[in-house]
A = this chain, B = another copy of it.
Amino acid sequence: MIQSIDRAAKVLNLLQGARHLGISDLAAAMELPPSTVHGIVKALQAHKLVAQERIGNRYVLGPALVKLSSVYLDTLDVRARAIRWMHDLSRETGFASRLGVELFGDVLVIHHDGRPDGSEQMPETGASIPSHASAIGKVLLAFNSEHADDVFANPLRELTGYTITDAQELADDFMSVRKNLIAYENEEAVIGESSIAAPVCDSTGDVVAAVAIVIPSNETPVDEATLTRLIETARNISRDLGTPSWPPTPN
């Protein structure tokens, strides 16, 4: 592992968590001399991966990340295929839909299609949610034991009073996810919001993503037709990607 690149990435991660940091904040957090951190930050700044605040001398993440991220999203086959099916899903069910993948134990939302009712929509793409508190996460974990082990390695953080923090309870949940191809989450991450997710497979047959619909809690439970429609959407995306087997097998 190249030391300075590793340190540069750590700088980006720290800025991701803290938004605005000075050189000495970073130096303290990384336990390095300020001059060393300064060199790293200046190298990142030259590529606009970080930027200096206009007033004050703290540093923030830079605009180049937006372009990189946008190109990443465009290269993702799953996303390209999912967009059409998700739009149909949202239009027909009336619920917002999300597509998520795993990132360092959390769920990263890589596409979002809003409710068709024209309400003001916050862009949710890029948001990340702890896996154990999201329907998408439960699907990804239930079908990938490697990711699941990572999550079980640490205590499950409580986000709301309904978050599942007991490992055994979560593991039991996975059994039914594998059996029914559906994961539920009821106000486990955000009060007032529930979600339901289904697995998406790529051409290797592995579960690489999950689609979900997001439901205001006062509209739960949803009818059987909506559930069928969600699984259908997941299967359509998977088929587009050339999955060799459906339903998917746990890995």
Residues of A within 8 A of B (CB): 1-2, 4-6, 8-9, 12-13, 15-16, 19-20, 39-40, 42-44, 46-49, 54-55, 60-75, 87, 101, 103-104, 108, 110, 116, 118, 120, 123, 125-128, 202-204, 206, 208
Contacts and interface: CB of A to CB of B under 8 A. Distances in A.
B67 A72 contact: no
A13 B49 CA distance: 11
Given A54-B202, A118-B118, A127 B70 contact: yes
B2 A126 contact: no
6 shortest interchain CB distances as A-B pairs? A70-B126, A69-B69, A61-B72, A9-B47, A5-B43, A2-B43
Contacts of A61: 68-69, 71-72, 75
Contact of A66 (B54, B64, B69): B69
A39 to B, nearest CB: 6
A43 B120 contact: no
9 contacts: A5-B44, A6-B46, A9-B44, A19-B74, A19-B75, A48-B104, A63-B108, A67-B108, A116-B118
Contacts of A101: 63
Contacts of A5: 4-5, 8, 40, 43-44
Nearest to A122: B83
